[in-house]
Amino acid sequence: MPRAYLGLGGNIGDVKANIQEALRMLQANNAVKLIKQSSYYETAPVGFEQQAWFLNIVIEIETELPPYELLELCSKVEHQLKRERLIRWGPRTIDIDILLYEGFESNDPKLIVPHPRMHERAFVIIPLYEIAPNLFIKDQGIREHAISLNNQEIRKLTND
């Protein structure tokens, strides 16, 4: 079964509860199996900075869904969790992005995979490095990407 990596994040409402609900809804599809889940990370907003910090995680899944059906599922979950698009790059209850999908590359503006900016964003690379430390992105080890993003504010959430 193909593996895929998804990035989840949000900064409106009880974000941890929203992410947990999104995980539950993704797994409610029998063609999706959760393999790994990163820690939760509090991350400074990127792109549009006048908004609250985000909570972000990355997951690894195994899925029988072809890429566009997986995209459809992610959009459906975003919709069910009341995702609204008011400000470009602005606050949201939940965002679910397909970062990587094994054996698949696409430049379709509706589904660009691998995610074209993921290597520039600590909120993607740091959690991804936690669960997939041997990945290569743009011909560079993910560890090297993680090191070069050490200027971006990100804090692993602890339970204490």
Q: Is 60 in the site for Mg ion (CB under 5 A)?
A: no
Size of the site for Mg ion (CB under 5 A): 2
Q: By C-beta, is 1 or 48 nearer to Mg ion?
A: 48
Q: Is 9 in the site for ligand X6L (CB under 6 A)?
A: yes
DSSP assignment of 110-125 equals TEEES-TTGGG-HHHH
Catalytic residue among 3, 85, 88, 97: 97
> Considering only residues 31, 34, 46, 131, which one is a binding residue for ligand X6L as defined by CB under 6 A?
46
In what helix (H) or strand (E) does residue 143 lie, and over which residues does it extend? helix 142-148
CA trace torsion 35, 43, 80, 26 (10° rounding): 0
> Cβ–Cβ contacts within 10 Å for residue 14, how many?
12
Q: Is 56 in the site for ligand X6L (CB under 6 A)?
A: yes
Are residues 41 and 57 in contact, defined by beta-carbon separation less than 8 angstroms?
A: yes
> Minimum CB separation from ligand X6L for residue 104, in Å?
21
Give catalytic residues, as residue numbers. 83, 92, 95, 97
